[in-house]
Structures are given as C-alpha cells and as structure tokens.
Amino acid sequence: MPAFGTVSFACLKKIELLNLLCEIHSFTSAEKDGRIVGEIAFQLDRRILAYVFPGVTRLYGFTVSNIPEKIKQTSIKSLDGSMDEKKLRELTHRYLMLMARLEKLGYSRDVHPVFSEFLINTYGILKQRPDLRANPLHSSPAALRKLVIDIVPPKFLGDSLLLLNCLCELSKEDSKPLFAW
C-alpha cells in the first residue's frame, strides 16, 4: 500500500510539474507572439528610415518621428558646417514621396510614428532573427494579420493592422521579406 501512495504522490507532482511547464510555455509563446506585434512596428520604422536615408547603416538616434530634424543634421557638410542643399532636397523629397504613398494607405505622420514607438515599447521586438523555414508565420501577411487580431486590444487594432498593411506594401515594393534583417 505505501508504494501505491508514493507512486500516486509522485504522479501528482509530475502532473503539477507538467501543468506548470505548459503554463510557462504558453506564457513564453504569448510573449513571443506579442513581440511579433512590436517587431511589425519596428520593421516598418526601419524600412521607412532605410528608404529616407539610403546607405546609412547606423541609424542610432533616428526615429520616424525625428526624420525632418535628422534630414537637416545629415545634410550639414562636415568640412565647413554649411548646408548641402542638394542632399537636403533629395532626402526631403524621398521622405515626402514615401509619406504620400503611406498616407494613401491611411498612415498619418502625426499619429503612427508615435503609435509605432508605443507598440515597440509595449510588446518588445524579437530577440533573434526568425527562421522563416521553421516558422513561416513571419513571411505570411495573413498569418501575421490573424496574430495581430488575436493579440492587440480592440482600441489599438485598426492602427496596428494599418502598420502591418504599410509594412506589407513596402515589402512588395522593395522585394524584401516582411522581417528584413
């Protein structure tokens, strides 16, 4: 009889442990799924910055919100501190053309850069490069759309889906994966 009670207690402990592991896995999976929402916003921001500032690989301190100031900063000649008017015009043109395309999709310069920062700060971003072969979710707009619908609260859903639509559009235009690394 004692063996039965011991086995029973051991089985209960194993079941508790398995349940705990399932909860942890579920939380980790939910956290990772949330990170994908932040990653969508982050990837859109990176795409916008890379388009406006071609050839600039270190974008530390650059945000979509501060593009106009960064255009001015990067247009100053390092030798004499004068303004490179041609570069200023080119970057400004790139920025305005891209914003016009995104605004046709509903993007607002006044709302969505700050909203993207909010999503990135709320959900985080992916910690490592996704394996597109192992998880095709990261390359499927439909799967990402479903994930966003499942995770994002209703009051933020419309703007979150708009950011995904903008990312999909830019991905089509530059023929790069949705999550370009």
pTM of the model: 0.80
d(Cα 160, Cα 163) in Å, to the nearest integer? Answer: 5
Q: Which tokens sit at 57?
A: 């690989």
pLDDT digits (tens, 9 = 90+) for 141-155: 999 999 999 999 999
User: What would you report as the CA-atom Rg of the chain, rounded to the nearest whole angstrom?
Assistant: 23
The domain ranges of the chain are 38-174
Tokens, residue 119:
């999503």
Q: Residue range 127-133: average pLDDT?
A: 65
pLDDT band, residue 177 (cuts 50/70/90): confident
